[in-house]
């Protein structure tokens, strides 16, 4: 769980400026904050500007906010932690990767979190396209018992996830699992615990350099 944060008025003003300018909050306001419902009890988004986060907490009765960017101390996230504490919402920092694989321990910790947190919950990363989609897929499967192939959370529209860039490693993780399930009927958590290796998933994936350039140089995904 995140540490409780209390900011001074000056720090709070800087955090608002940081959210708008340094983390491109103004651009997300013009284009999309990528906020979407996920199943019956969850929502996904990019990094929400502070006033929109408060609005979503109150409008949807959020009880938990999971920041998938991890325990980094940017002004924006420090303000987010303070706002959640003020609204009596649990805030959790969980480090996921948009262009990498995850350890067995992190994946099983994620399962435990999803099965024990209070809902409704919000999962957010920076853009709301990749890590939020990965988390939403796990939520739908482990909590709402939706088959992986029916979750539809890692898509170009409406989430702006690019499966042919390095971000497609997230899709490939599930493809590797589905191939194993086809052979033995194994459950996802059992596959992670007994068969999954990061190296096997990484080594069997190839991205498209053009899509890599789009995601990393043009869109500048985190």
Q: According to the model, what pLDDT value does residue 168 have?
A: 96
In a domain, 28, yes or no: yes
In a domain, 100, yes or no: yes
Task: Look at the chain and count its residues.
Answer: 222
In a domain, 37, yes or no: yes
Token digits for 188?
């996802």
Say whether 90 sits in a helix, a strand or coil: strand
Per DSSP bridges, beta strands 36-38 and 42-45 are: antiparallel
Q: Which of 77, 64, 20 is nearest to 38 (CA)?
A: 64
In a domain, 75, yes or no: yes
Who wins on pLDDT, 46 or 214? 46
Question: Does the structure show a pLDDT above 60 at 3?
Answer: no
Sign, Cα dihedral of 72, 60, 121, 131: negative
- pTM for this model (two decimals): 0.88
Q: According to the model, what pLDDT value does residue 138 have?
A: 99
Q: How many structural domains comprise the chain?
A: 1
pLDDT in tens, 21-48: 555 554 555 455 899 999 999 999 999 9
In a domain, 132, yes or no: yes
Range of the domain at 74: 9-162
The domain that holds 102 is classified in CATH as 3.90.190.10
Who wins on pLDDT, 216 or 122? 122
Please tell me the distance from the alpha carbon of residue 97 to that of residue 220, in angstroms, as a whole number: 14
Who wins on pLDDT, 17 or 65? 65
In a domain, 179, yes or no: no
Q: According to the model, what pLDDT value does residue 116 have?
A: 99
Across the range 110-136, mean pLDDT stands at 98
Inter-residue contact 163 to 126 (CB < 8 Å): no
In a domain, 196, yes or no: no
pLDDT in tens, 67-83: 999 998 888 898 899 99
In a domain, 220, yes or no: no
């Amino acid at each position: 769980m995140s540490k409780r944060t209390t900011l001074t008025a000056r720090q709070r003003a800087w955090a608002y400026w940081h959210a708008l300018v340094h983390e491109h909050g103004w651009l997300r306001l013009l284009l999309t904050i990528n906020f979407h419902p996920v199943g019956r009890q969850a929502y996904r988004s990019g990094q929400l500007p502070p006033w929109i986060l408060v609005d979503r907490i109150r409008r949807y009765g959020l009880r938990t906010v999971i920041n998938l960017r991890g325990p980094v101390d940017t002004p924006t996230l420090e303000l987010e932690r303070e706002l959640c504490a003020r609204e009596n919402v649990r805030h959790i920092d969980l480090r996921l990767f948009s262009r990498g694989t995850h350890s067995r321990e992190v994946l099983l910790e994620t399962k435990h979190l999803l099965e024990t947190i209070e809902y409704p919950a919000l999962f957010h990363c920076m853009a709301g396209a990749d890590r939020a989609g990965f988390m939403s897929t796990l939520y739908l499967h482990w909590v709402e018992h939706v088959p992986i192939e029916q979750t539809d959370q890692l898509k170009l529209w409406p989430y702006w996830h690019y499966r042919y860039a390095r971000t497609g490693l997230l899709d490939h993780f599930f493809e590797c699992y589905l191939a194993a399930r086809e052979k033995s009927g194994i459950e996802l958590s059992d596959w992670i615990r007994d068969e999954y290796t990061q190296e096997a998933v990484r080594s069997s994936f190839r991205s498209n350099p053009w899509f890599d350039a789009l995601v990393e140089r043009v869109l500048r995904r985190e």
